C-alpha cells in the first residue's frame, strides 16, 4: 500500500475477561503481518473500564500470549495510564470546535435512544449547538460529528466501506467522571504509538468510521484498517462456553501444543494454496492481511485435533515427557523425576496414536502403573489353562532373549507362535492384558519394550501365579 517506512501493528485486548481464542488469532495475525513487513508488533491493554478491568486478567492475557508464542516487541502500554493525554486531546477537540459539553440526563438519553431505535435519526444531543458551557455542572464531552457527507473506510480485508455521516452519532469522548472512553482512547493511543495498521475484530468495523472522524478532526494521518471476521462456534453462532472452550488457557489444559494452535489459527480465515501444515517462518513469509477471508470461520475441533496430532509426532520426546509429567501431577499421581527418561522412551513408542497431550498421558499409563495390579475382567477370561501354559512357555523364551529390542521381540513372538503351531491371536490379547492390566497399550513388541525386560517378566509372573 503506502510507502510507510515501518509497519507497526498492535493487539489491544481489554482485561475484563480471559484471552479468547478469537483475540489470540487477532494477535497472531498482527504479529504475522508485522513480521512479514519487517515491522513491530505492540501490545496495549485497554483498561479504561476501571470497574471491570483486573490485574489478574492482565496476567492471564500476558500468560496466554506467552504460551502461544505471540509476544509483543515492547512492554505493554496501559491505556488508563494515558488518561491525561486523552483529556488533553479532548480539550484540543473542544478548542477546535469539534467537541462539546453535553448535559443530558440519563433519562433524556434513554428517551433519545428509544426514539433513535424507533426509526429516528442517530443520537444528537440538544447541547450540540447550545451556548451553555458550564464546566462545573455534571456533563460528558461528545464528539461533534459532521451532519452530512460520508466517511469511507478503505479496509484491507473488507474493501471500501462507506458510512453516511448523518448516521453516525455524537459519541461520548469523556465520561462524566473525567475518564476517556474507548473510541477516543484507541485513536489517541494508536496515533501516539505510531500504529500504521489497525488489525482487529470485525465487531469494530462500525467504530472505524467514528474513529476516522476523530483522526480527521485532529488532522492526524489515518492508519490502514483491516477488520477480521469473528470466529464462530461449530454451529455458526458466536463462540461461547457451550462450544467447549474459548480461553486459550483452556486449550492449553486440553492438551494442545502452542505450535499446533498457532498453525490451526493461522489457517482459520486465511490460506496459502494447498498448504495445511507450515512453520512459523513460512507463515511469516506467506502472510498478508489482504488475503484474509471475509467470511467468519467456524471452530472445528476434529481438524485442530488432527493438526495437534501432527505436532505431537514432531515434538521432542523429552519435551513431551515433561508435559506429560505435568498432567500426571495435575491428576494427583505424580511421577518421580528420575522416571522421566523412561517416560520419554515410552512416549516414543505410543505417541503416534495421540491427538492431545491428555491422550498421550493416557497412553503411557499402562507402563507407569505400579505392580502388582488386578487384571481386568476381559483378560481374566482369556487366561484359560491352555493360554496360561502358552504364556508360561513364552515367558521362558522372553527371559532367554539376548537382545531386548523391538524387531527382535517381534521376531521372537512370531517364531514362538509358529513353533507352537498357533496364531498370534491365540495368546496376543491375553499377553497384552497381562502386561497392561486392561488399559490401552501399543502393539506387543512395543509394550514389552516400553516396560523393559524386568518389569515385563514380573508382570507376567504376577498374572500367571495370581491365577494358579
Contact positions with RNA (CB under 7 A) in 240-269:
267-269
Residue 20 or residue 340: which is nearer to RNA going by CB? 20
Beta-sheet strands, E only, within 113-181: 140-143, 150-155, 159-164, 172-174
Q: Of the two residues 296 and 340, which places its CB atom closer to RNA in the complex?
A: 296
Site for RNA in 171-230 (CB under 7 A): 171-172, 175-177, 179, 181-183, 202-207, 229-230
Among 46, 189, 259, 362, which residue interacts with RNA (rule: CB under 7 A)? 46
Smallest distance, RNA to C-beta of residue 122, A: 7
Q: What angle in degrees, to the nearest 10, is found between the helix axes of 83-95 and 205-218?
A: 60
How many residues line the site for RNA (CB under 7 A)? 87
Nearer to RNA, 106 or 336 (CB): 106
Choice from 95, 117, 149, 403 touching RNA (CB under 7 A): 117
Give the active site residues. Answer: 241
Residues in 133-172 that interact with RNA by CB under 7 A: 138, 140, 158-159, 161-164, 167, 169, 171-172
- Is there binding between residue 238 and RNA (CB under 7 A)? yes
The C-alpha torsion from 211 through 214 and 218 to 223, rounded to 10°, is 10
| The three-state (H, E, C) secondary structure of 2-37, written as one string | CCCCCCEEEECCCCCCCCEHHHHHHHHHHHHHHHHC
Q: How far is the CB of 267 from RNA (least distance, A)?
A: 5
Residue among 131 and 295 whose Cβ is closer to RNA: 295
DSSP 261: H
Whole-angstrom CA distances from 185 to 46, 219, 313, 390 are 9, 16, 46, 78
- Only segment of 91-99, 100-108, 338-346, 384-392 that touches RNA (CB under 7 A): 100-108
Closest distance between RNA and the C-beta of residue 159, in Å?
6
- Tell me whether residue 113 or residue 381 sits nearer to RNA (CB atom): 113
Name which of residues 389 to 428 contact RNA (CB under 7 A). 410, 413, 423-425, 428
| Letter string b/e over residues 12-31, b meaning 16 or more CB atoms within 10 A of that residue's CB | bbbbebbbbbbbbbbbbbbb
By CB under 7 A, name the one of 123, 335, 458, 464 that touches RNA: 123
By C-alpha distance, which of 368, 380, 370, 362 is closest to 433? 380
Give the count of beta carbons closer than 10 Å to the beta carbon of residue 446.
18
Helices (H), 277-405: 280-286, 301-314, 317-330, 340-350, 357-368, 377-382, 385-399
Phi, psi of 193 (to 5 degrees): -85, 0
Inter-CA distances, 12 with 25, 41, 133, 182, 350, Å: 12, 11, 34, 11, 41
Distance between CA atoms of residues 245 and 250, nearest Å: 6
CB-wise, 130 or 329, nearer to RNA?
130
Site string for RNA, 438-457 (x = CB under 7 A): --xxxxxx------------
In sequence order, which residues have a C-beta less than 8 Å from that of residue 99 and are 6 or more positions away? 90, 93, 141, 142, 143, 144, 173, 217
**In angstroms, what is the minimal distance from the CB of 421 to RNA?**
15
83 or 340: CB nearest RNA: 83
> Least Å distance between CB 324 and RNA?
17
Subset of residues 70 to 89 that bind RNA, contact rule: CB under 7 A = 79
From the list 12-20, 253-261, 337-345, 451-459, the region that binds RNA by CB under 7 A is 12-20
Count Cβ atoms below 10 Å from residue 341 Cβ, excluding itself: 11
**Site map 273..312 versus RNA, x via CB under 7 A:** xx-x--------------x-xxxxxx-x-xx-xx------
Residue 468 three-state SS: coil
Residue 329 beta carbon to RNA: minimum distance, rounded to whole angstroms: 25
270, 287, 311, 416: residue in contact with RNA (rule CB under 7 A): 270
What is the footprint of RNA within residues 330-389 (CB under 7 A)?
Answer: 352-353
Calpha distance 307→260 (Å, rounded): 6
Interacting residue with RNA among 146, 249, 258, 271 (CB under 7 A): 271
Amino acid at each position: 500500500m503506502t510507502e510507510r517506512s515501518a509497519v507497526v501493528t498492535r493487539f489491544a485486548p481489554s482485561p475484563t475477561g480471559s484471552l479468547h481464542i478469537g483475540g489470540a488469532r487477532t494477535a497472531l495475525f498482527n504479529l504475522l503481518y508485522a513480521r512479514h513487513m519487517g515491522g513491530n508488533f505492540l501490545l496495549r491493554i485497554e483498561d479504561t473500564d476501571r470497574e471491570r478491568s483486573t490485574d489478574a486478567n492482565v496476567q492471564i492475557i500476558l500468560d496466554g500470549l506467552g504460551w502461544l508464542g505471540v509476544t509483543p516487541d515492547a512492554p505493554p502500554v496501559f491505556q488508563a495510564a494515558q488518561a491525561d493525554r486523552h483529556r488533553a486531546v479532548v480539550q484540543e477537540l473542544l478548542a477546535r470546535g469539534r467537541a462539546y459539553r453535553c448535559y443530558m440526563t440519563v433519562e433524556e438519553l434513554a428517551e433519545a435512544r428509544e426514539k433513535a431505535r424507533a426509526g429516528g435519526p442517530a443520537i444528537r444531543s440538544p447541547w450540540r449547538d447550545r451556548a451553555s458551557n458550564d464546566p462545573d455542572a455534571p456533563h460528558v464531552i461528545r464528539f461533534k460529528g459532521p451532519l452530512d457527507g460520508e466517511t469511507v473506510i478503505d479496509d484491507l480485508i473488507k474493501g471500501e466501506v462507506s458510512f453516511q455521516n448523518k448516521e453516525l452519532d455524537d459519541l461520548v469522548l469523556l465520561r462524566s467522571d473525567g475518564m476517556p472512553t474507548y473510541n477516543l482512547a484507541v485513536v489517541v493511543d494508536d496515533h501516539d504509538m505510531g500504529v500504521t495498521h489497525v488489525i482487529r475484530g470485525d465487531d469494530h468495523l462500525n467504530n472505524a468510521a467514528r474513529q476516522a472522524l476523530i483522526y480527521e478532526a485532529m488532522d492526524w494521518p489515518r492508519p490502514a484498517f483491516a477488520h477480521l471476521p469473528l470466529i464462530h462456534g461449530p454451529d455458526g453462532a458466536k463462540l461461547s462456553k457451550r462450544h467447549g472452550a474459548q480461553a486459550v488457557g483452556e486449550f492449553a489444559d486440553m492438551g494442545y501444543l502452542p505450535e499446533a494452535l498457532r498453525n490451526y489459527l493461522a489457517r482459520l480465515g486465511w490460506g496459502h494454496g494447498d498448504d495445511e501444515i507450515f512453520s512459523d517462518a513460512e507463515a511469516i513469509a506467506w502472510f498478508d492481511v489482504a488475503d484474509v477471508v471475509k467470511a467468519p470461520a467456524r471452530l472445528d475441533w476434529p481438524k485442530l485435533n488432527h493438526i495437534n496430532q501432527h505436532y505431537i509426532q514432531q515434538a521432542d520426546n523429552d519435551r513431551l515427557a515433561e508435559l506429560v509429567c505435568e498432567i500426571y501431577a495435575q491428576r494427583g499421581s505424580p511421577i518421580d523425576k528420575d522416571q522421566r527418561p523412561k517416560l520419554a522412551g515410552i512416549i516414543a513408542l505410543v505417541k503416534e496414536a495421540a491427538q492431545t497431550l491428555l491422550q498421550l498421558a493416557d497412553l503411557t499409563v499402562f507402563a507407569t502403573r505400579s505392580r502388582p495390579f488386578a487384571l481386568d475382567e476381559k483378560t481374566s477370561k482369556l487366561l484359560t489353562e491352555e493360554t496360561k501354559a502358552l504364556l508360561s512357555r513364552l515367558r521362558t523364551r522372553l527371559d532367554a532373549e539376548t537382545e531386548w529390542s523391538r524387531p527382535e521381540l517381534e521376531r521372537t513372538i512370531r517364531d514362538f507362535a509358529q513353533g507352537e503351531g498357533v496364531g498370534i491371536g491365540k495368546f496376543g490379547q491375553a499377553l497384552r492384558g497381562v502386561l497392561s492390566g486392561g488399559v490401552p497399550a501399543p502393539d506387543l513388541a512395543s509394550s514389552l519394550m516400553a516396560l523393559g525386560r524386568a518389569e515385563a517378566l514380573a508382570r507376567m509372573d504376577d498374572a500367571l501365579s495370581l491365577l494358579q
